[in-house]
């Protein structure tokens, strides 16, 4: 998942790179065509196992960056990803079930009733940041790519079962 440019490769990043390399206009990052194509690819890969394991100094550095982001408190509510998805995973908050952290990357993209359509994992990350009153990062930012890499590593060995659906 580490590119030649020493950054994390994501499915959506690879889709848009392919479009650009072939003279096409890249898709917008969070919803629409990118989420639809990601859903098609996710469905085609259903049942395959996540095999993300950091190898080498650069990969370990990205993993640690994602881990630090996951456990760092942020926003007006002073919450981390771990506060909701590790320490309180599977509990209910404001009528919503908090998904446990392990497995987050197995069922993306996600159809959410609130959105009325499919959205990418980075769209969901942005929504989480808004919920805790933190300024969201841009989709495909280094912060969200590192977080995705960390979560994929935590889900190592689990089967892909996307696209998913949530309230």
**Catalytic positions:** 128
Assigned token pair, 78: 């002073």
Residues listed for the chain: 167
CA 40 to chain centre: 17
Q: Which residues contact 53 (CB under 8 A, 6 or more apart)?
A: 153, 156
Which of 98, 102, 148, 106 has the alpha carbon at shortest distance from 123? 148
Which of 118, 95, 105 has the alpha carbon at shortest distance from 28? 118
Other C-beta atoms within 10 Å of 98: how many? Answer: 17
Q: Residue 96 belongs to what H/E stretch?
A: strand 96-97
* Nearest-angstrom CA–CA distance, 56 and 62: 10
């Amino acid at each position: 998942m580490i590119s030649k440019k020493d950054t994390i490769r994501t499915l959506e990043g690879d889709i848009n790179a392919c479009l650009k390399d072939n003279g096409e206009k890249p898709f917008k990052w969070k919803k629409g065509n990118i989420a639809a194509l990601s859903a098609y690819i996710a469905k085609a890969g259903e049942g395959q196992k996540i095999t993300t394991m950091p190898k080498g100094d650069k990969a370990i550095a990205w993993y640690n960056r994602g881990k630090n982001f996951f456990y760092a408190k942020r926003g007006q509510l002073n919450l981390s990803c771990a506060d909701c998805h590790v320490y309180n995973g599977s509990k209910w908050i404001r009528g919503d079930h908090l998904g446990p952290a392990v497995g987050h990357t197995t069922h993306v993209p996600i159809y959410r009733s609130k959105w009325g359509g499919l959205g990418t994992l980075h769209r969901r990350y942005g929504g989480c940041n808004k919920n805790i009153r933190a300024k969201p990062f841009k989709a495909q930012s280094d912060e969200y790519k590192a977080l995705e890499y960390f979560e994929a590593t935590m889900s190592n060995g689990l089967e892909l079962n996307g696209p998913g659906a949530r309230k």
